[in-house]
Amino acid sequence: MTRWVIKCTQCGLERELDVGFDLSSLRYSVYLYCPRCRVNTTHRVLGYHDPYTGQYVQVNQTETSVEGVSEFD
């Protein structure tokens, strides 16, 4: 399991998402429920905690751009 750090694109809430797959295959954006907005919103992946070293790894910001990407792509 990998702990990803994600950020809501609407309100800016940062939180962790613990999933068993690589979010890079989803272009580093996921559509999830935001507890602050109380609706489903697009979340951008900021980085992840490496399960082997325990260190935080920030992803390349050019790879995480969600501008011009439809949430249904």
Domains and CATH numbers, the chain: 2-58 (2.20.28)
Its pTM surpasses 0.85? no
Instruction: Report the distance separating Cα 36 and Cα 8, nearest Å.
Output: 9
Question: Residue 64's pLDDT band (boundaries 50, 70, 90)?
Answer: very low
Give the pLDDT confidence score for residue 26 in this predicted structure: 82
Residue with the larger pLDDT of the pair 32 and 64: 32
Please, what's the b/e burial string for 3-20 (b: 16 or more CB within 10 A of its CB; e: otherwise)?
Answer: ebbbbbbeeeeeeeeeee
Question: Residue 73's pLDDT band (boundaries 50, 70, 90)?
Answer: very low
Give the pLDDT confidence score for residue 72 in this predicted structure: 46
Tens digits of residue pLDDT in 20-48: 888 888 888 899 999 999 999 999 999 99
